Structure 1
Amino acid sequence: MSSKVIFLLLTIVSPQAVAATDYNAWQQTWQDAVTWAPELKTLSLLTVLSFVPVMLIAVTAFTRIIIVLSMLRHALGLPQTPPNVVLLTLALFLTLYCMQPVWQQIDEQAVQPYHSQLISLEQALDNGIAPLKSFMVSQTRESNFAAVYQMAKTPLPASAEEVSLLYLIPAFLLSELTTAFQIAFVIFIPFLLIDLIVASVLMSLGMIMVPPISIALPIKVMVFVLIDGWSLVTQSLVSSFS
């Protein structure tokens, strides 16, 4: 099982290198290492599992969601509320909802056929990566593709199918950062208007010693609750991936 996990991670990171490698020979080399000490085997498995959070951030909707939720917290003027663990948990569930069609395609095209021994492991890896790659391509801007390929000093591919994950993942992350900041900017505008209105009212009343944030904060929280802001923001985030 560990060999399959490692091979999958290698395929995601460098599919060309793995494609040029005979998997049977590679698996035989791994089986020859069964004489390793249990401590080394455990260390190898833990090293592979340490890449799981990185891949979760790199190839899913998690990046956009957590950035927007964090920026929303700052727009409200509550840098520590809700706590990070609450936002991370909410972002994980929203990521599952956004990625559900992709997971379903991977299960139907790769996992189930492989468990039924209808396809080989190499074919299962190719079938499993295809839906994930299609999702990332659909969410990535052409300008980000061009920027990544320019940084790598590599000519642009002729079609989306020829895009390597080595270039697709950073381009996808750049696009997600841009989209997240655009959504956060729209969220910031109404809260900024509340801050400006409160500051203007206090200034006109001559209450220059009263911090505007002390008056604006409860007003922003009240308005956000009245419009059911958390539901609106989360639904908008999920629908932005459709």
Structure 2
Amino acid sequence: MLASSTLQRWHPKTLSRGTLVIIGLVLLLGSKMAWADNGLTFLTVNDGQSEQEYSVKLQILLLMTALSFLPAFLLMATSFTRIIVVLAILRQALGLQQSPPNRVLIGIALCLSILIMRPVWSDVYENAFLPYDQGEITLMQAFSTAEKPVRNFMLAQTQQNSLEQMLRIANEPVDSNVDDISFAIVLPAFVISELKTAFQIGFMLFIPFLIIDLVVASVLMAMGMMMLSPLIVSLPFKLVVFVLVDGWAMTVGTLSASFSTG
């Protein structure tokens, strides 16, 4: 009777969630210890002469560090910066504070960035990732090959004065060869150029809506309705004009055409 009651009490259906969590943690820790004992490795670097394997903890640290730099790389080394700045200025020009929300704007900018950067990603995948995955080149050679198409795209968008400014900041010769300029100099020059181009496009988008605001404000003052905010009256007119001219398609088309293929 005692044995049957004990088995019934420890039946899986009668276990509490806390007990299941504890059992799961024990199994996870046990498997982790088994991995450490067996010398399981996830990352191996082959320099052509010797093969070096990193421990699991160091590999996880390297992986998490690399993943933490992905958002910064996406913001700085792609077309994302120009697109998101122009979309934010467009929303401000329309007089809308929270619509479209930030998540929608970021989603649009991310999708357009993936589409615009597709030739670059294809080049990186075919000439860097696939040869490395097949063992034809080393990891450092793959990084060097992958840098070239990204670098060419960035230099095609970078303005000469921005590049010269960054060279002066880095105490490098202004007349240096483009191929000899470090990636650490090209990156900030590219970001500054992207911000400048985004503000230029945003200014051109702002002018029509500014004219509508001025016309509405003048009409309200002529009618003696100075207590009424012009933004409340001009907002419907700006939305109607933006929809009639298919403003989103025009904005996306202008942004896509503004990127040079080099």
TM bin, normalised by shorter chain, reads 0.7 to 0.9
Q: Counterparts in 2 of 1:136-151, with a 5 A limit?
A: 136-151=154-169
Q: How does 1:18-57 map to 2 (within 5 A)?
A: 23=47, 28=52, 31=53, 33-34=54-55, 36=57, 41-57=59-75
Larger Rg, first or second structure (1 or 2): 2
**Identity over aligned residues, as a percent?**
44
Q: TM-score, normalised by structure 1?
A: 0.84
Greater length-normalized contact order (CA 8 Å, ≥ 6 residues apart): 1
SS at match of 1:206: coil
Cα distance change of structure 1 residues 96 and 35 upon mapping to structure 2, 3 Å threshold: closer
Matching residue of 1:11: none
The whole-number CA distance in structure 1 between the counterparts of 2:47 and 2:174 is 29
Q: Closer, same or farther in 2 for the Cα pair 1:201/1:121, shift >3 Å? A: same
CA distance in 1, matches of 2:93, 2:121: 33
Q: Which residue of 1 aligns with 2:98?
A: 80
Partner of 1:195: 213
Output the CA distance in 2 between the equivalents of 1:158 and 1:172. Answer: 17
Deviation, 1:108, is 2.0
- Give the secondary structure class of the aligned counterpart of 2:55: helix
1:162-195 Cα distance to aligned partner (Å, 9 max, x none) = 1110100000000000000000000000000000
Structure 1 match to 2:9: none
Aligned to 1:90: 108
User: In the alignment, what sits opposite 1:17?
Assistant: none
Decide whether aligned partners of structure 1 residues 204 and 152 sit closer, same or farther in structure 2, where only a CA change above 3 A counts: same
Contiguous gaps of at least 5 residues in structure 2: 1-40
Cα RMSD, aligned residues only? 2.3
1:122, distance to aligned residue in structure 2 (A): 2.5
> Is the contact between residue 66 and residue 88 of structure 1 (CA under 8 Å) also seen in structure 2?
yes
Q: Return the match for 1:106 from 109, 124, 129.
A: 124
Identify if the C-alpha distance between structure 1 residues 87 and 2 changes in structure 2 by more than 3 Å, giving closer, same or farther. Answer: farther
Q: Which whole-Å deviations, capped at 9, do the CAs of 1:80-121 have from their partners, x for residues lacking one?
A: 110000000000000011101111111222122222333333
Structure 2 residue aligned with 1:14: none
How many residue pairs match? The answer is 220
> Which residue in 1 is equivalent to 2:138?
120
Mean alpha-carbon deviation: is it higher for 130-139 or for 117-126?
A: 117-126
Shift in alpha-carbon separation, 1:199–1:2, aligned structure 2, 3 A: farther
Structure 1 runs (4+) greater than 3 angstroms displaced: 1-4, 22-27, 40-44
Higher mean alpha-carbon deviation, 163-172 vs 149-158, is at 149-158
